[in-house]
Amino acid sequence: MAQVLRSLWVKQGTLSLPGTSVPFWGFATSFAGAPRLPGPVIEATVRDTVIVVLRNCSILIPASLIFPGQHNVRAMRPGSGWRRAAPQYSGGEMISLTDFLGPDSTGRIRYRFTATRPGVHLYESGTNPENQVQMGLYGVLIVRPMGHDIPYTPNYRTAYGAGTGSRFDVEHLLVLGEVDSQMHAALGQGGGYDTLRFAPDYWMINGRCYPDTIKADNDPALPSQPYGSAITARVGQRLLLRLVNAGFLPNTMHFGGLVGRVVGTDGFALRSRDADGTYEKAAVTLGPGQTFDVLLRPQNTGVYYLRAREYNHVVNNDTFPGGMMTRLTVTT
């Protein structure tokens, strides 16, 4: 049991997309740091206490965080004690799904919870999420089983622990999302946008569109999109894909001709001592906010393109190839 302390700063930045750039809102890890899309990955182990300190330093909007799938989340403002995080109301109407910072706040708000079970989860804005999540205020929380990092113990390098069929050799996180560039332009300039007009024209994995998806992590040309999604594995290795859909629309990820075994969904293992609910799929469809853990075990060398099966999601502003696509290289 340990304490995991993370600071997130709400900031406005610029997303580099093929042929254009758009403003976005993201989380930085410091006052001087660049905002990221997706936000910084928070990792914890079961029974850890997770504390996230949220600050809003550059955008005149209320800001908050929710942690879907986590229980007994508590919030604390400066000068007050911990209390259960709860929806906020004004004039009898809900204005936020949880405690939030005001738009002119120079303070901070803390959220605390205990990680109770392994899995992969979203964290995201709970205030005006129809705008703020689309603008980029989301990230991923990975909770690992106890002993996951201790060799020769049953839970070593597993997603959910011994007996869940989730042991892996290589792990890769793929966060799916989309951008409506007109919406980003309007909100980035302080205007409004009718979400009924939502019409994404760029589709992303880890905040990047193909071919940027296959560039290395921390590419200097993509300062706010540090996470690449190109994957390398060897024949016979167990490759664990941790798929998260942070977008507003469903996305079907195709495994490039490989067949994977689904071992977890929405932070729940599908296999236990008493039952095995895992199953094989050549592609999985993720609804908004949904997560899948899929094990691939390639048997042949080659290059495989993991991509959205919706053909209008593998374009950049209607130009193919692009969008939600990345590359898996299998070597001997």
Q: Can you give the pLDDT at residue 1? A: 79
Q: Can you give the pLDDT at residue 138? A: 98
- Assess whether pLDDT exceeds 90 at residue 2: yes
Contact 67, 47 (CB under 8 A): no
Q: Can you give the pLDDT at residue 102? A: 83
Q: Can you give the pLDDT at residue 104? A: 66
**Residues in a beta bridge with 124:** 66, 138
- Assess whether pLDDT exceeds 70 at residue 105: no
Half-sphere exposure of residue 183, counting CA atoms within 13 Å on the CB side? 21
Q: Can you give the pLDDT at residue 106? A: 73
Mean pLDDT within 13-39: 96
The string of pLDDT tens digits covering residues 276-286 is 999 999 999 99
The string of pLDDT tens digits covering residues 48-98 is 999 999 998 777 788 999 999 999 999 998 788 999 999 999 999 999 999
Q: What are phi and psi of 62, to 5 degrees?
A: -65, 150
Task: Of 129, 135, 138, 132, give the one whose Cα is nearest residue 200.
Answer: 135
Q: Can you give the pLDDT at residue 327? A: 98
| Sheet arrangement for strand 119-124 | 42-45, 138-144, 119-124
Mean pLDDT within 204-214: 98
Q: What angle do CA 16, 22, 28 make, to 5 degrees?
A: 70
Mean pLDDT within 202-206: 98
Mean pLDDT within 250-279: 97
Mean pLDDT within 226-234: 98
Mean pLDDT within 91-107: 86
The string of pLDDT tens digits covering residues 150-181 is 999 999 999 999 999 999 999 999 999 999 99
Q: Can you give the pLDDT at residue 130? A: 94
Q: Which amino acid is at 45?
A: T
Report pTM: 0.96
pLDDT band at 100 (very low <50, low <70, confident <90, very high): very high
Contact 248, 301 (CB under 8 A): no
Q: Can you give the pLDDT at residue 312? A: 94
pLDDT band at 103 (very low <50, low <70, confident <90, very high): confident
Convert the chain into a string of H (helix), E (strand) and C (coil).
CCEEEEEEEEEEEEEEECCEEEEEEEEECCCCCCCECCCCCEEEECCCEEEEEEEECCCCCCECCECCCCCCCEEECCCCCCEECCCEEECCEEEECCCCECCCCCCEEEEEEECCCCEEEEEECCCCHHHHHHHCCEEEEEEECCCCCCCCCCCCCECCCCCCCCECCEEEEEEEEEECHHHHHHHHCCCCCCHHHCCCCEEEECCECECHHHCCCCCCCCCCCCCCCCEEEECCCCEEEEEEECCCCCEEEECCCCCEEEEEECCEECECCCCECCEEECEEEECCCCEEEEEECCCCCEEEEEEECCHHHCCECCECCCECEEEEEEEC
Q: What angle do CA 53, 114, 100 make, to 5 degrees?
A: 35
Task: Judge residue 230's burial from the number of C-beta atoms within 10 Å of its C-beta, 0-12 exposed, 13-18 middle, 19 or more buried.
Answer: middle
Structure tokens that stand for 308 in this block: 């959205």
User: What are the angstrom distances between the C-alpha of 132 and each of 19, 36, 188, 325?
Assistant: 24, 14, 11, 25
Structure tokens that stand for 275 in this block: 């039952």
Structure tokens that stand for 154 in this block: 């049953």
Q: Can you give the pLDDT at residue 163? A: 96
The string of pLDDT tens digits covering residues 275-323 is 999 999 999 999 999 999 999 999 999 999 999 999 999 999 999 999 9
Q: Can you give the pLDDT at residue 56? A: 86
